[in-house]
Amino acid sequence: MFFMKFETKGLAHYSYMIGDSHDIAVIDPMRDVEIYMHEARKAGMRIKYIFETHRNEDFIVGSMELAEKTGATIYISDHEDLGHVYGERIQEGFQLDIGKIIVKAIHTPGHTLGHMSYAVYEEGIEKAYMVFTGDCLFMGDLGRTDFYGEENLEKMTGLLYESVFEKLLPMGDHVLLCPAHGAGSACGDTMAERPYSSFGYEKATNKLLQVRSKEVFIEKFARMRIKPRYFERMEVLNVKGADFVRNEVVLNTLTVDEVAAMKDEILLIDARTKEGYIGGHIPGSIYLPKGNITAFLGSIYLPDVKIAFVIDGQMGEMEEIYWYCRRMGFDNIAGYLPDGIEMWQETGHEVDQLATISAKAYKEMPKGDDFILLDIRDYNEMENRDPDKNKVSIPLKSLYGSLEKLDQDKTLYVLCGSGNRATTAAAYLKVKGYDTVVITGGVKMYRNLE
């Protein structure tokens, strides 16, 4: 048996290759597909099949391009008509023999109505060996059930219960779990950081599985979650098809004059350090480091925005950022300015700075009613001992749609866990005309002052 697991960095997306004899199947391929073809060549095998577990919302799937390059057949669910322009539609019970392994389709709705899981069996053995569970069952978590609106929340959560508790888990504690996402993905809240798991281990450790009935499960799990802005665009591209990327890095080096001429018409992202951005940045630019791009770029902006980057000159890191963006559908990338701030200042341009205050100084300062404490953490991060005077809570992922809650005549003190996300939020709001101050050290420092 041939088996490989791939992690798409940033998105925490898992895809897989499995095969036997001369043939390989790829499950939920990422957009830049050369890596699968490379590994197949190394193994002396051919990619002949592609399975999609569901229509993905957080990344562009690479099925169409991989099929074009290899001649592979794409299999998608026939349990929901989403308008796909590609793929052979299959239903529960579909079976495919690949050498001495057998892949069987299981309809596991809940995350989506058409969601499919794929069980792998070895020839002559009745018990499943592993299951590709997509966004149904994760390590430490379960797939969200709110994509069909609050009016369908109870129904979809009930379907997820049936899929997990009545279809998957009864297959046996020994079954290896192969989900489509890991820790850090926008598709879950409590995913564990362990790289591998089994159905039995999840039954013993996954807190969401510690329920005695469907009714209790629905009561505990059915809730609406924040939906990043770019998800809707991904939903369209993953049924209509996105442009092929052909694994080419199209990334131009920009001059200061070019950036100066276009900066008021594009999204200029400063991907340097937080301290570097606070100390001096190109006016109008937004702070968004590599580690936060996949989490927040698509939550704040729409994928059709034209982007340029300011970096410290690390080209390897810029290429990583490039693929982070392309995998999320942010294709309109003008280029990047290397050694950006140095070059910007050397040519006579002014830099801007972001106002800050330490958590200690914030705690000690006199507090009237002439300011707002903007807490941009997720709600599950908050504790009673955190500051709450004049507080407005808006998670960064939904900030773009909640500006009406903020008084533009008051100073906004922006708070997060350590100051990283707060710097992004403060930069975004400053461009919108707000007077912002970042609380450096965040609640981590604030709590340690007790």
Confidence class for position 132, pLDDT limits 50, 70, 90: very high
Token reading at 216: 């209790």
In the chain, ranges of CATH 3.60.15.10 domains: 2-240
Query: What is the structure's pLDDT at 315?
Result: 72
- Residue 101 falls in which region: left (phi positive, over 0), alpha (psi -120 to 50) or beta: beta
State the DSSP code for 252: P
Choice between 52 and 340, residue whose per-residue pLDDT is larger: 52
Token reading at 51: 């399975």
Return the CATH number of 356-448, one of 3.20.20.220, 3.40.250.10, 3.20.20.370, 3.30.420.40. Answer: 3.40.250.10
What tens digit of pLDDT does each residue of 267-292 get? Answer: 999 999 999 999 999 999 999 999 89
Share of the chain above pLDDT 70, in %: 99
Do 351 and 343 form a contact (C-beta atoms < 8 A)? no
Query: What is the structure's pLDDT at 184?
Result: 78
Question: What are the φ and ψ backbone dihedral angles of 410, each rounded to 5 degrees?
Answer: -115, 150
Do 311 and 272 form a contact (C-beta atoms < 8 A)? yes
Q: Is the pLDDT of residue 242 over 90?
A: yes
Burial label, 44 (beta-carbon count in 10 A; 0-12, 13-18, 19+): exposed
Q: Is the pLDDT of residue 91 over 90?
A: yes
Which residue in this structure is represented by tokens 């099949």?
Answer: 49
Do 116 and 107 form a contact (C-beta atoms < 8 A)? yes
Calpha distance 3→177 (Å, rounded): 13
What tens digit of pLDDT does each residue of 364-376 get? Answer: 999 999 999 999 9
Mean pLDDT of 49-74: 97
Q: Is the pLDDT of residue 51 over 90?
A: yes
For 2-240, CATH gives 3.60.15.10
Q: Taking the alpha carbons of 51, 55, 60, 65 in that order, is the dihedral positive or negative?
A: positive
CA 65 to chain centroid: 21
What tens digit of pLDDT does each residue of 195-227 get? Answer: 999 999 999 999 999 999 999 999 999 999 999
Q: Is the pLDDT of residue 314 over 70?
A: no
Q: Is 89 helix (H, G, I), strand (E, B) or coil?
A: strand
Mean pLDDT of 239-251: 92
Q: Is the pLDDT of residue 8 over 70?
A: yes
Q: Is the pLDDT of residue 9 over 90?
A: no
Query: What is the structure's pLDDT at 141?
Result: 96
Q: What is the mean pLDDT of the chain?
A: 95
Q: pTM for the whole thing?
A: 0.93
For 256-346, CATH gives 3.40.250.10
Q: Is 415 helix (H, G, I), strand (E, B) or coil?
A: strand
Query: What is the structure's pLDDT at 252?
Result: 92
* Helix, strand, coil share of the chain (percent; to 5): 35, 25, 45
In the chain, ranges of CATH 3.40.250.10 domains: 256-346, 356-448
What tens digit of pLDDT does each residue of 150-202 get? Answer: 999 999 999 999 999 999 999 999 999 999 999 877 777 789 999 999 999 99
